[in-house]
Amino acid sequence: MLNLLVRPEGEKGRVSHVTPQSAGWTHVGFDMHRLSPGEMVTAETGNREVCLVWVTGKGSAIAGGADFGSLGGRTSPFEGEPAALYVPAGLDWSVTAETDLELAVCSAPGTPGARPARAIRPENLSKETRGKGTNTRYVTNILPEDQPADSLLVVEVITPGGHTSSYPPHKHDTDNLPHESLLEETYYHRLDPPQGFAFQRVYTDDRSLDEAMAVEDGDVVLVPRGYHPCAACHGYDLYYLNVMAGPKRTWKFHNAPEHEWLFGT
């Protein structure tokens, strides 16, 4: 059975690497690079579009020959909003770290030449609060469906300690629009303080997939199908960066019927 929990490999360089092939699916790819000042990461998008997210730190970026200058700057994913750079399929890109830099590379199938590369700046990001009580969490939309892209949907969420998130449980694994869309998803997790842990369960109605995981700082969780709630332990705030993509670029989810009563509380 596919291991849904991907631990980081090492402390520097490319520490996380998820491809459609390694995940056993079709759309989503995710890499995490940890760079020291002066180090560079570069790639060609080929037939995939990319959303680069400055999780922490500052770095200068070039995409398709255009110089986007210095982006980023926050010192923690729990403080402020990120910078990002959308790079369409068919272009090359590079990022050079100006400080210690944690750079996420989110990818999915794209159409070469469909649109230009563009910077996504912190001041232009929309934010929202979801849930109530101990289900409250704070969402920053980096590449939502009302912003142009071919496949990618990218969002980050902060869940306070003692709270739940992606809850009540929902799923998006069936191509049944307008009721539900089919989207693969990755969760890149961070904890504050970093020695903490949280929990995530990925399961289907028939329990043919049912895996509960203790996630630690820097872990990636794969969600190929099913419900996928998270719980942050007391004293430790949980951050996660979500990447979603599927055959149709829209987020329509189905709530677990046995837990829908919670929406009335």
pLDDT over 70, % of the chain:
99
- The CATH number given to whatever domain includes residue 53 is 2.60.120.10
Predicted confidence at residue 265, as pLDDT, reads 66
Helix (H, G, I), strand (E, B) or coil at 259: helix
ω before 168 within 30° of 0 (cis)?
Answer: yes
As given in the structure block, the two tokens for residue 151 are 């496949």
pLDDT greater at residue 231 or residue 1 = 231
Beta bridge partners of 143: 154
Q: In what order do the strands lie in the sheet with 137-143?
A: 5-6, 220-223, 184-192, 237-245, 153-159, 137-143, 126-130
Give how many domains the chain has, as a whole number.
1
Question: How does pLDDT run across 9-25, given as a tens digit for each residue?
Answer: 999 999 999 999 999 99
Question: How does pLDDT run across 170-225, given as a tens digit for each residue?
Answer: 999 999 999 999 999 999 999 999 999 999 999 999 999 999 999 999 999 999 99
Range of the domain at 207: 5-264
Predicted confidence at residue 264, as pLDDT, reads 84
Say which residue the tokens 């449980």 belong to: 169
